[in-house]
Chains A and B, each alone.
Chain A
Amino acid sequence: MLAAVGLTVALVAIGLGGPWRGEFLAPGPLCSSHARLLGDLQGTDRCAACHDAATSSSSQWLAAVFSAHTPGPVQSEHCLKCHDSTFSGSAPLAAHSVPSTTLAQITQRRSRDSGGRQWLETLVAWPHAKIHHESLACATCHREHHGELDLTTMTDRQCQSCHIERYHSFELDHPEFTQWPGAMPRHLAFDHEAHETKHFPGKGQTYACNSCHESDVTRRVQTLRPFADACASCHAEGIVASTLEGMDLLSLPRLDVATLRAAGLDPGDWPADASSEFDGTFAEPILALLAGDPLATQAMTQLGDLDLAWLESDNPQHLQAVTQLSWSVKRLLLELATGDRDALTLRLTAAGLGQPETQQAFLASLPYAQLEEAIAVWFPDLEFELANRDTQAQTLTPPAASLPSQPQGPDNWEASVAEESSSSPNLTPQAAPDLVAIFSAAIKELSQDRKVLAENPLRNWRPGDRSTTTPLATEPPASATTTPTEPATTSDAPQVASQDLPQETSEDDSPDSTAITPMPAQIPQAALVPTLPAASSGSLLAENPLRHLRAGNAPAPPQETPAEAAVTDHLPTENSQLENPLATDVPAGTTPTQEETSPSSQTIDSQETPPVDTELAEPTTESTDTPELATSEQLPSESDPSLGESPGVSLSSADQVLPWRHEPSQRIGWVRNDAQFRLSYYPQGHADPVLRIWLELLRSSGLPESISTEELAHAMVELARGNPTWITTPIKSLEEGVAPKEPAALAVVSPLTTWSTKLLASNGFGGCARCHLPQHREGGDVMVWQGYRRDVARGEFTAFSHAPHLLTSDSQVCQSCHQLETLRQPELQVVIHRAPLEPHSDFRPMIRSDCANCHRAGQASQACSTCHDYHVGTLRLHP
């Protein structure tokens, strides 16, 4: 007997003392996953990867028998070292990996619903309440060292060990579903019933679920097919049709400059072709950007209806307002032309437009190159004009009137702002006092920069002052004395002598290229700006040689000089894309004919340049099918009787960089219309990136869902006092007539609302909002462009997988579970489908028997883990 005991002791000592101790003590093989991970480790190191005791002494082992804890960290901490990405939540070791508070709430609700029927189980079972507050070790359920057995297998008894409410089987006594599959967040406004009963039959198509839905890669969920597959056949055409007119970023109304001047007002330069009578309006984005400008908002409020066709030309206040508004627009245009993002960001913030992210995205989406060129063509002296105005305003006394009767400089602008703020604190709901201060500071900073420009010795130089010697150019080049090629305007100061203008081009009248030399030869690069004509001095506009490029008179130096080459090298990339013939194509010393210059005029400021239509590129005087879109040969000209008399018109056909236009349905991207002074955007169709950014900007602006009674009452009171204000009329009120129309019509609609309504209304531009619903988030609404999709990558309390259920793609299979709820009141459908706040389902909730038809004894599984995940919110290891 002693020998047997001695032999046993000896064998145990050998087993524990040798290098094979790990293998000797291992209670069994690891599962294959862990075995592969530890395949390179041997002996004690292999054990120590998970067990601190592997490297502990025997005395520590003995101590562990009498201790509540093992030597070293708790075992589960070792597990989480590798599985930390899976269990990234705040409570990885809590029951169900969800916070204890959540479990406690669920337990309380379930206990309340059960009516305390489980008192016996509660009495004899483990103290379940402890589960809520204690961590459960991984090894509680996952028993390693059992070889290839599935570590993740859970039995029903394991589930029900914690759940007081215990069920014998799903078929018999599982609780009835309360709302399954349940209402889902609505990302898209889609009415299944209408499509089944009206739209599909109306088109003679078969309503089939798989027309729009398909399995994802995991096959667990049914996702929406792409728009091109599911929706485009019916909706793509409508989207294109709704965008045929384009969305104006810029548009200039016609101003009756003569009337304004007769009234003693100075609107400054204004394109001659837009200086005949009051008509049109500014583009909505421009007005929205001005919503934070106190002077502009005051002017807009005074005008009321911003369609100048309704302007009362005999109303001095209206004339003052439109004059002020024109100057405010010009300042904004300068910021747009120079790409001054800081100033534009301030304007967005002051106007209450968007959040920082959406503001930056919006600014990034703007076509600065096209803006620069458009403004260079429409307002060639804009920067000088504003700088000069600011300089002159410094000597003027701030006006006492609420509306500036005289041009205001930056200094009196501040005073005016202060006055406006004190007199009409509620004039602009978006312009909070702090924003006004920020805006004022920014404008002041900008004005400081303009002071520098105002001090430019060339500031008084005008194209007509050709005899003036430029102070920085000791020897002005001969070309500098030639006539600049900017289009003349109705401005007084930069008035260009008609004889200096390039003669109106006709088919037989080519411009004298030798007389037009925008870049003086042999001028150092640094001296380019001051030696250029004043209208382009010191600005990005001046640095753009393309502004001197006019169709039909594209000048080219007799011989390309190094300075010209340097200029060419410094052309902005955007301009380089325009294939400037001045830089490349036009031979030196030659005068390009219209045919030769037509390619430059065919350049389209768009994201996607359509192929050149050679037929349309041919010089012709015939009008096209789209009269508002003129080719270079259809420029408004003095000789064109259709355009009427335009004294001082300088926008000759040779002076314009004109967009190339195809049929309206083929316009894509940014298109400039110099005849109508518009810079418009034509989306590419569904999911247009620019349109998305604009919608996100507007959605994040926090437009009210419904009109505020206080705001409406305030607007009414102010209107009665003869002090009209505007209200941020909610989109819904304009769209659906939910809010009272008449009071809203009496007040002035915010330009922000106007722009928002145009884009966010269900029948608005592009019709995006017809389907895409905003999602409410803290800090502003957001657009979620994709349809809602259940996140099956992570565990769920109830985890359903379509994969084993979709035996066929027949719709009957889908409809066996998803049956349309047809009892809805038709008048509520629109409201329901367009209410993003309320999760909603078009289908009636399922009941337990729907599932128990198959999940019953002898048929499909009834195990808890069939439909429920234990680890909720953690990455699913086996999708």
Chain B
Amino acid sequence: MSSSTQTSSKSLALPASGSFFLRRRLRNTLLTASALLLFAIVVGLQTPLLDRSWITGWTLLGVLGFLTALSIRKRLSFLPLGSVSSWMQWHLQAGWASVVLFAWHIGPRIPDGTFEFALAILFLSVAGSGVFGWRLSRSAPRQLAILPHEVRYEAIPARRLALAENVRAIVLESANTTGVLGDFYLSHCQSFFERPRSLLYRLIPTGTTRRRLEAQALRLDRYLTDRERDLRQRLSLAIREKDDLDFHAAIQGRLKYWLFAHLASTYSMWILVVVHVVLVHAFRGT
């Protein structure tokens, strides 16, 4: 992403309804914090001889159930259970509360049993993917909005293929002259245009490759004829367009696959949660 793009994203103003979202967010956050505080007071007043992990565990189980209910709510859209947007807001607040409860539940230690460690890892992965998705849902639209044109995620492969064909045509057209562009394409650009970007780019998309290729192409101008300079400019535009497509693919891919990871880890976690509940009852010390 270019610096100009980042600058433009900072200059974006909040939408007209921003104050509403802000108020709603504050309200929900306060309510969640209040609920946690009340819970802490109640538990704190109770005798410490009661197994605190017992209380926090069952409370955490209930909160996890509520969080999972969002997925069911989406599938039961015909039922008058409130808007998905409101559900999402409470999902976010409950998610934060579950993290607090989880920390309270396990105490100041890292679970060192194999099973409990796996369960903790799964919970943290669910929570982490949730936070990641929450942040992504906030940042991705802005990042995609600064691109010159919108591209549907499903159209990106076709657009990428067409762009590769276009670049190949440009290179063939320059073959009748010095051949410098052809050599540059073969040595630096062919894999960029014809292969998908690396996993690292899809996780952390940056404009480094694009800037490197543009700079290298620009340095070829002194060896090119005027005709070839025109072709080089068209190649540079193709490089930028390809990078935008890859950026679209990466951002839209995040939006598409984080939820998959979130749900997959959630269901896996639920399996271990059930086993955990059974075990703590069967092996309880009282």
A binding-site residues for B, Cβ under 8 Å: 1, 4-5, 7-9, 11-12, 15-16, 23-29, 51, 53-54, 56, 60-62, 64-65, 67, 70-71, 74-76, 124-126, 136-141, 144-147, 155, 157-158, 161-162
Contact = CB atoms under 8 A, between A and B. Distances in A.
Contact of B48 (A1, A53, A147, A158): A158
Contact of B260 (A1, A62, A125, A138): A1
B272 interface: yes
Contact of B286 (A26, A65, A140): A140
Contact of A65 (B113, B114, B268, B277): B277
B47 A145 contact: no
A53 B47 contact: no
Given A12-B272, A28-B111, A53 B45 contact: no
Contacts of B278: 61-62, 64-65
13 contacts: A1-B260, A4-B267, A4-B268, A8-B272, A24-B114, A25-B115, A26-B115, A71-B282, A125-B46, A126-B47, A140-B49, A145-B113, A158-B49
A5 B271 CA distance: 8
Contacts of A5: 264, 267-268, 271
A254 B46 CA distance: 87
Contacts of A53: 282-283
B115 to A, nearest CB: 5
A735 B268 CA distance: 90
Contacts of A60: 282
B49 A24 contact: no
B48 A155 contact: yes
Given A1-B260, A25-B113, A125-B45, A61 B282 contact: yes
Given A51-B283, A61-B279, A140-B286, A12 B271 contact: yes
Contacts of B279: 25, 61
Q: Which 7 A-B pairs have the closest CB atoms?
A: A139-B285, A161-B47, A4-B264, A8-B268, A126-B47, A61-B282, A137-B286
Contacts of A74: 286
Nearest to A23: B114
A27 B263 CA distance: 26
Interface in B32-60: 45-51
Determine chain B's interface SS by DSSP, over half rule. helix
Given A1-B260, A65-B278, A24 B115 contact: yes
Contacts of A125: 45-47
B45 A157 contact: no
A78 to B, nearest CB: 9
Given A8-B268, A28-B111, A70 B282 contact: yes
Given A12-B272, A61-B278, 8 more contacts: A1-B267, A5-B268, A24-B114, A28-B112, A28-B113, A61-B282, A76-B286, A137-B286
Nearest to A145: B113
A8 B271 contact: yes
B10 interface: no
Interface string B266-277: 011001100101
Nearest to A141: B49
A126 B45 CA distance: 8
A7 B122 CA distance: 13
A124 B44 CA distance: 11
Contact of A64 (B46, B282, B285): B282
A26 B285 CA distance: 13
A56 B283 CA distance: 10
Q: Which of A23, A25, A29 has the most CB of B within 10 A?
A: A25
A157 B48 contact: yes
B281 interface: yes
A689 to B, nearest CB: 53
Contacts of A67: 281
Interface string B114-140: 111010001000000000000000000
Contacts of A75: 284-286
B265 interface: yes
B122 to A, nearest CB: 8
Given A71-B282, A140-B286, A4 B265 contact: yes
B109 interface: yes
Nearest to A79: B285
Contacts of A157: 48
Contacts of B45: 124-125
Nearest to B286: A137
Contacts of A124: 45
A7 B268 CA distance: 8
A510 B278 CA distance: 105
Interface string B211-235: 0000000000000000000000000
B49 to A, nearest CB: 5
Given A8-B268, A12-B271, A27-B111, A161 B48 contact: yes
Nearest to B112: A28
Contacts of B281: 61, 64-65, 67, 70
B275 to A, nearest CB: 6
Contacts of B114: 15, 23-26
Contacts of B268: 4-5, 7-8
A144 B112 CA distance: 13
Contacts of B116: 27-28
Contacts of B271: 5, 8-9, 12
B116 to A, nearest CB: 5
A442 B218 CA distance: 135
Contacts of A26: 113-115
B216 to A, nearest CB: 42
A657 to B, nearest CB: 76
Contacts of B51: 139-140
A76 B284 CA distance: 11
Contact of A146 (B50, B109, B115, B118): B109
Nearest to A135: B286
B50 A126 contact: yes
Contacts of B109: 146
A335 B275 CA distance: 83
Nearest to B265: A4
Contact of B285 (A62, A65, A137, A161): A137
B264 A1 contact: yes
A9 to B, nearest CB: 6
B272 A136 contact: no
Q: Which of B113, B267, B278, B283 has the most CB of A within 10 A?
A: B283
A235 B260 CA distance: 93
Nearest to B267: A5
Interface in B224-271: 260, 263-265, 267-268, 271
Contacts of B263: 1
A727 B114 CA distance: 84
Nearest to B268: A8
Contacts of A62: 278
A24 B113 CA distance: 7
Contacts of A51: 283
Contacts of B115: 15, 24-27
Contacts of A4: 264-265, 267-268
Contacts of A15: 114-115
A570 B282 CA distance: 75
B39 to A, nearest CB: 15
Given A28-B116, A29-B112, A162 B49 contact: yes
A157 B45 CA distance: 10
A62 B279 CA distance: 9
Contacts of A71: 282
Contacts of B111: 27-28
A126 B42 CA distance: 11
Interface in B137-161: none
A60 B283 CA distance: 11
B62 to A, nearest CB: 15
B113 A126 contact: no
Nearest to A126: B47
Q: Which of B47, B51, B112, B114 has the most CB of A within 10 A?
A: B47
A74 B114 CA distance: 26
B118 to A, nearest CB: 8
